[in-house]
Amino acid sequence: MANTSTTTTRKLGKAIDLKYQPGFSQIAWFCIAVLYAPIAVLVFFSFNENRSVTVWTQFSLDWYVKAWNNEGIQHAALISLEVALVAMIVSTIMATMAALVTTRTEAYRGLNSAIAVINQPLMVPEIVTAVATLIFFAIIKQVTGVSGIGYLIAAHTAFCIPFAYMPIRARLEDMNLSLEQAAADLYAPPFKVFRRVTLPLMMPGILAGAMLAFIVSLDDVIITLFVAGPGETTLPLYILGQIRRGVTPEINAVSTVFVGISVILVTFIFLFGKNKK
């Protein structure tokens, strides 16, 4: 009877499992092809010697060399890195503090509201956030007369906070409190408990959140398009402007580098998340 029951349970599990549903594998592979086939074509033609992005002639790295020596691309890349690095650092620090406040304290009235406010940029359409940020910064500029790249960094920081917050909070919720409680029982001051116990344990979540925030800031177009001022063209905006004149293998090369950076960072995020325990 036990063997019969076990067999029945396995069959029921297979019936419910999506992997065993008819046509599921085919649909999954079709979706993967639709998502990644255009990227594969872009990467393939970035190595094309011909200026055409549809006619292949022979393998060449000339377009990567031209992109590397392009002063416009260099300037845009430096702006993107500057904004993304500062936004990553500030948003990660703020997300870490927010995660501690929402996980390492007793439940209080308004906790769920605080979490909802932190995650609000994820639920609001990005175009709405961009317009609201543009109006808000325009008022500040009119009142103070201060302008500069700081507004763009502030906008990216605010938008990146929830992306950094999610993995950090998830890490804190998965952490066992026994080590922190043991350190407190041994009369360690709260700050020392945080520095010697809590912070090292939550570091994988912090690194994953920082890299996710960096990717989001580096790839952003909509908010940057509304907030960026003169001379603050980031690499995505530069690519967008060049595409309006016609796609060239040089743009394919830059886009391929973007894809490579994103893949590397996402891989690190996955590894940190996998090995966090």
SS (HEC) of 182-196? HHHHCCCCHHHHHHH
Mean pLDDT lowest for which of 126-135, 154-163, 257-266? 257-266
33 and 132 housed in the same domain: no
Q: Nearest-5° angle of CA 246, CA 250, CA 253?
A: 125
Taking the model in full, what pTM does it have?
0.80
Q: pLDDT tens for residues 17-45?
A: 666 677 777 888 888 888 888 888 888 88
Q: Which residues contact 55 (CB under 8 A, 6 or more apart)?
A: 48
Amino acid identity of residue 91, one-letter, is: S
121 and 221 housed in the same domain: yes
Q: pLDDT tens for residues 217-253?
A: 988 999 999 999 888 889 899 888 888 877 778 888 8
94 and 221 housed in the same domain: yes
In a domain, 206, yes or no: yes
Domain extent for 30: 2-37
Q: Compute the 3-state secondary structure of the chain and give helix, strand, coil in percent, each to the nearest 5.
A: 80, 0, 20
Nearest-angstrom CA–CA distance, 117 and 114: 5
**pLDDT greater than 70 at residue 204:** yes
Nearest-angstrom CA–CA distance, 60 and 83: 32
Average pLDDT, the chain: 84
- In terms of Cβ atoms closer than 10 Å to its own Cβ (0-12, 13-18, 19+), residue 89 is middle
Q: Looking at the 3D structure of the chain, how many domains does it have? A: 2
